[in-house]
Amino acid sequence: MRFDTMRNAARRVWNSARVCSRDGRRERGQTLLEFAFAAPLLLVFLLAIVDFGIAIDRRIVLDHAVREGARFAAVGGDAFVTGVPASAEEIEQYTERQSQGIADAAGATGSDNYIDVCYADANGNGFGDVGEEVRVDVRYKHPFVTGFTSFFNLGLAPIVMEPSASARIEQPLPGDVPSTMETTGC
């Protein structure tokens, strides 16, 4: 008997919580209409969160890629194996592989998506000497991929990412092989 009493009390609470209009009719369609107004805004907000999450992920990957590219250049690439230091093209390709294909080694410097390698030739001898700096720069323009900006015709510009990393050359270049990296812009 106690269970029936609790069940009846629950029914009374449930029934009293229902919204009725003044003339006693139930307003069941109101919730559906409110959801129809709110759902697009929630969807756009969710898409914006996803898009900015993708942008943050790509920035982290690019940061990792330029650090690894600078490290690769600082130790001479495969110089211990081949006897020849890594060229700028090899460093760019290594950086592109580390970026999981986000950065473009074939991109021209100054374009929307490129990798640039340079070193600071402190003594002006044209060689990458131990202690001099090598720098890897990446420029990547991240377009919004989910299309949330077109929903409201916001016209937001893409996010431009320009991570850079430098490292000190640790290994002397074997023999009298000049560095093939550009000395400008460092």
pTM of the model: 0.70
90 in a domain, yes or no? yes
Summarize pLDDT for 16-36 with one digit per residue, the tens. 555 555 555 566 678 888 888
106: in domain: yes
When comparing pLDDT for 61 and 106, which is higher?
A: 61
Q: Structural domain tally of the chain?
A: 1
Instruction: Confirm if 88 and 77 have CB atoms less than 8 A apart.
Output: no
Residue 6 lies in a domain: no
Over residues 38-67, the pLDDT tens digits come to: 998 888 888 888 888 999 999 999 999 999
pLDDT score, position 10 = 64
Mean pLDDT of 151-160: 71
Residue 179 in any domain: the answer is: yes
- Has residue 19 been placed in a domain? no
Please report, rounded to a whole number, the percentage of residues in the chain having pLDDT higher than 90. 16
Which position has the token pair 């030739």?
121
CA separation for the pair 113, 10 (Å, rounded): 64
Bridge-partner residues for 134, per DSSP? Answer: 119, 167
Token couple for 114: 């490129």
Arithmetic mean of pLDDT, 89-95? 87
Residue 158 lies in domain: 43-186
Is residue 28 a part of any domain in this protein?
no
